[in-house]
A and B are shown apart, each in its own frame.
Chain A
Amino acid sequence: GQNIDQPTEMTATEGAIVQINCTYQTSGFNGLFWYQQHAGEAPTFLSYNVLDGLEEKGRFSSFLSRSKGYSYLLLKELQMKDSASYLCAVLLLNNNAGNMLTFGGGTRLMVKP
C-alpha cells in the first residue's frame, strides 16, 4: 500500500517561517508535489521535486530526499492568506496511461496575527 504522512494541523504567526514535513513509503516514485487548498476551493500547484535538493520559488521552498522518503515545504514571511491546507502528493505513475497522484492527508495551517 501507499503511505504518505504529514501533520494534521500547524499554527504559526504572521511574518514567521513554518516548515511542513511529509514522509512517504510508496510502490513507485516519479516525483513529489505540494498543493495548496483553501477551504471549498480547488487545490493549486505550489511545487514539484523529482531530484534531491531544494527548489525555491519566492516565499515558498520545497525540499526532497529520495533516500529518506522525506520532503518539506517551507513558507517564509507568512501572511494571513497562507492559512490553508497543504497537500503533499506522490506521483506514482507517469506514462501515457496518465499521472497517478496519491495525496497525503493534508496539513491545515492556521496563521495568527
Chain B
Amino acid sequence: DTEVTQTPKHLVMGMTNKKSLKCEQHMGHRAMYWYKQKAKKPPELMFVYSYEKLSINESVPSRFSPECPNSSLLNLHLHALQPEDSALYLCASSPLRGGVFGANVLTFGAGSRLTVL
C-alpha cells in the first residue's frame, strides 16, 4: 500500500459546527503532516507529527486541533472555523530516516476540500 487516504473528500460546514478530517497511511511512515492549500497557491505547512507526537506547529489558530491516535492515523478537528479557512487540506506522510536519499519523500493524500459557510 503506497497511498495516503483522506476522508471526506468534500466537507461543507457552518461556523458553529464541529467536524473532523481523517487521514490514514499503511506505509510504516512515522511522520505525518497537515498542509493547507488555497486556490492557485502552494501548500502551507500546519502541523508535523513524528512518532505520534506533535513536533511542529506553524502558529496555527486553536480552532484547528490535530490528533494522532496511532502511527497510521492522523485527524484534524475543526471547530468555530471562519469562511477564510475554506481550502484544500492535504495530509502527507514520510519516513524518518534522515540523511538517506529517498527516505525523506513526502507522500500526499488527495486532500479534503473544506467550505466554511
Binding site for B on A (CB under 8 A): 30-31, 33, 35, 40-45, 48, 50, 87, 89, 91, 93-106, 108
Contact = CB atoms under 8 A, between A and B. Distances in A.
A35 B102 CA distance: 14
B110 to A, nearest CB: 5
Contacts of B94: 98-99
Contacts, number: 76
Interface in B73-117: 88, 90, 94, 96, 98-99, 101-102, 104-111, 113
A104 B42 contact: yes
Given A42-B90, A44-B108, A94 B45 contact: no
Q: Is the interface of A mostly helix, strand, loop or mixed?
A: strand
Given A42-B90, A43-B108, A98 B31 contact: yes
B106 A101 contact: yes
Contacts of A108: 40
The 3 closest A-B pairs by CB, nearest first: A103-B42, A98-B48, A42-B108
